Amino acid sequence: MAIAGNPRNTSMTPPGPRGWRGIILAPWSATAAVVILLAAYFALAVTSVLNKSVTYDEPVHLAGGYVYWTRGDYRINPENGILPQRWMALPLLAGSWNFPDLNAPPNYDQWMLAHKFLYESGNDVRLMLLLGRSMVALLGVALAAVVYRWSRSLFGTAGGLLSLTLCVFSTALLANGALMTSDLAASLCFLGALGCLWRLLHRVTIFTILCSCLAMGALFVSKMSALLIVPMGLCLLVIRLLNRRPLEVAFVRAGQVGGLVRQAVIYLGMVVLHIAAIYVIIWAFYGFRYAELNNAPPAAVAQKDENFNKVMSASITGRGIIQFARDHRLLPEAYLHGHAHVLKFSQFRAAFLNGEYSARGWWTFFPYAFLIKTPLSLFVILLLAALAALVGWRRVVRKPPSDPDRLARHSFYRTAPLWVLLAVYWAFAITSKLNIGHRHILPTYPPIFILAGAAAGWWKAWSRGRFVSVLLSAALLAYVAESLTAWPHYLAYFNQLVGGPGNAHRHLVDSSLDWGQDVPGLKLWLDRHGLTGQDQVPVYLSYFGNGNPTYYGITAHRLPGFVDMDIKTMPVVPLRGGVYVISATVLESVLPLNRIGRWTVYYEETYKRLMGDIDEMMKSDQGRASLAEPLWQEYLRQFADLRLGRLCAYLRSREPDDNVGYSLLIYRLSDHDVQQALYGPPTELLPDLIPTKDKLLK
């Protein structure tokens, strides 16, 4: 291992690996290992989602990308990066796909448009998902290659291979490794942009300028959180200037620039050049057109303006800047709309953590999510990496002449971009109020994998640290084995600290566990248990997601979930003993229609009042006819959702009888169980401490 703090590049053992280690680290074998590992990542990522339905956000990502290419219209999903959406929809351009009319009045809603594109237009959904998800998996391959290259430059080939293995078999990356969202693209662009910038701060050439500008531009069209690169870049610039190392400049001829002022002038010019490049790249991705909609009727434009003004009416940070840019058309309208949307909803969003609910989040959310959704073996490897760096650094210090302070500074300097990325991103995550998914800290994993490459020094120091080398190998094997056994349910991976994925719904839900991905698995479960096409045992389904149970042949009675696009109207079906399939997010009452949180006195009183009113209306023909009126239909919808809430409160007190992919929880209930859940004493009845959704949204 090359010690990060040693300018003489001293290793823990004499250079030149011998024996089996020499064969493994030979150039040809290392190249073969890299190719095999990258292919393994692609295979694991794609095959893990072959039998998964779309996760909640995927339809609008894919539909948005397709419309960007084919219609030049940017109304769908403006709050996420346009680059990953264009990228995942790219293979669809080679086929013939039906898309609903963008300007038909019912289609103004982006979620309905996406649902119709996938399930109501005669398209091959499985092929569409395979093509789009494979493109995202390729981004994961690129990310893994960057991790290997960076780690190898710091810790040699062994370190590079160790980091690459950690990246390839990461349950966090594989969970999102083929999903059509912007999270993986943002992870790649953050790492790539910082790497290119760090290179540019040391050597200014046409090539390094071009790479850095393109990487920065790609980041700014990948996700709205790209603005975090500003404090990251400023930190790196300060670190670089304080180092006082000469700056290499090579255009017509090579030379070095010394002096703080002269270097600062050059860097200032690079900042201006980057701003110009990012500005042009953003406009280019929106076709150099300001308008969000393309050839839309007045009604569609009015709906868009209403949505934009609605998010701008909130008291959001940066509202004045967005409004100024909007008034003067400084940036594409869709880009500004997306930023306004993110700023509004990042300040206020219902979230769940360990049985607690909040609309403002917790500073502990992401540290806790990282702790329980990261294999424990990775923590062992990180500890060994820190120990390897410390041992190697101490060996160098003992060799006179040496300067411990200089070695420490040099050690930090070589890895500065990684530490800066981790520090700034984690500071943002801890203070963020948007606590809805572990995936939001995905960009922090690649730098961790790179730094973990330092542990490979123990393999090179086999004769001096044989026990630690064996421990490192065992930890790596355990890491790989745990990843393989988690396949294909990577999204539902939780480590042993919380008892694994079987107990996960009590800790985190939403995109950390249940994102609507297991509808095909439910169909297989129903077939296996003889519950398809029979009436003896009723099956009830409350589904959180944008998949289509009907498309997969599921004929269960539908209960309220959360914006179930598959059901045009939600009938209030009678409940009796049978099989109840409840999404984990619905069970924990995080994003239902009319309630958030545990069952309270307020919910109980409203439930009983609505139940009494409906029973009274059912006593006469006139009353039953009145139930078809819009007002009573709304009351029925509220009652159905509150009834489900009371049922979930009952179910939370017992263990599921089975599950599908850990995200769909299955309960076998008798008639007595149902009666007890709906009409007996409430299993949980808390004071009205949790406000209703209407109050939350205000």
Q: Is the peptide bond before 401 cis (omega within 30 degrees of 0)?
A: yes
Taking the C-alpha atoms of residue 134 and residue 82, their distance in angstroms, rounded to an integer, is 18
Taking the C-alpha atoms of residue 506 and residue 498, their distance in angstroms, rounded to an integer, is 9
Tell me whether residue 248 is in a domain: no
What pLDDT does residue 625 have?
A: 84
pLDDT band at 10 (very low <50, low <70, confident <90, very high): very low
pLDDT band at 391 (very low <50, low <70, confident <90, very high): confident
Q: Residues for the chain: how many in total?
A: 698
Tell me whether residue 481 is in a domain: no
Q: What is the model's pTM?
A: 0.91
| Least reliable range by pLDDT among 147-156, 278-287, 460-469 | 460-469
Q: Is the pLDDT of residue 556 over 50?
A: yes
Tell me whether residue 601 is in a domain: yes
Q: Which residue has the higher pLDDT, 152 or 626?
A: 152
What pLDDT does residue 274 have?
A: 97
Tell me whether residue 648 is in a domain: yes
Taking the C-alpha atoms of residue 509 and residue 373, their distance in angstroms, rounded to an integer, is 12
What's the total number of domains in the chain?
A: 1
| Least reliable range by pLDDT among 5-9, 74-78, 541-545, 675-679 | 5-9
Taking the C-alpha atoms of residue 384 and residue 378, their distance in angstroms, rounded to an integer, is 10
Q: Is the pLDDT of residue 325 over 70?
A: yes
Give the orientation angle of helix 466-486 with respect to helix 125-168, to 10 degrees: 170
Q: Is the pLDDT of residue 235 over 90?
A: yes
What pLDDT does residue 22 have?
A: 54
DSSP state of 162: H
Q: For residue range 78-127, list pLDDT tens digits in order.
A: 999 999 999 999 999 998 999 998 888 765 688 889 999 999 999 999 99
What average pLDDT does the chain have?
A: 88
What pLDDT does residue 525 have?
A: 97
Tell me whether residue 115 is in a domain: no
Spell out the residues 6+ positions from residue 158 whose beta carbon is closer than 8 angstroms to its own. 1, 21, 25, 453, 456, 457, 459, 460
Find, among 617, 601, 607, the residue nearest to 638 by Cα: 607
Q: For residue range 634-660, list pLDDT tens digits in order.
A: 888 889 889 999 999 999 999 999 999
Find, among 455, 414, 415, 447, the residue nearest to 162 by Cα: 455
Q: Is the pLDDT of residue 267 over 70?
A: yes
| Cβ–Cβ under 8 Å, residues 334 and 76 | no
What pLDDT does residue 162 have?
A: 97
What pLDDT does residue 393 have?
A: 62
CA dihedral 570→572→577→580, nearest 10 degrees, is 20
What pLDDT does residue 190 have?
A: 98
| Least reliable range by pLDDT among 246-255, 435-444, 469-478 | 246-255
Tell me whether residue 669 is in a domain: yes
Question: Residue 382: CA atoms inside 13 Å, Cβ hemisphere, count?
Answer: 13
> Which CA distances in Å does 491 have to 102, 140, 322, 637, 663?
32, 16, 35, 31, 9
Tell me whether residue 677 is in a domain: yes
Q: Is the pLDDT of residue 244 over 80?
A: yes
Find, among 155, 89, 154, the residue nearest to 117 by Cα: 89
Spell out the residues 6+ positions from residue 324 whose beta carbon is closer than 8 angstroms to its own. 330
What pLDDT does residue 106 have?
A: 61
Q: For residue range 338-351, list pLDDT tens digits in order.
A: 999 888 888 778 88
Tell me whether residue 475 is in a domain: no
Domain that holds residue 554: 510-697
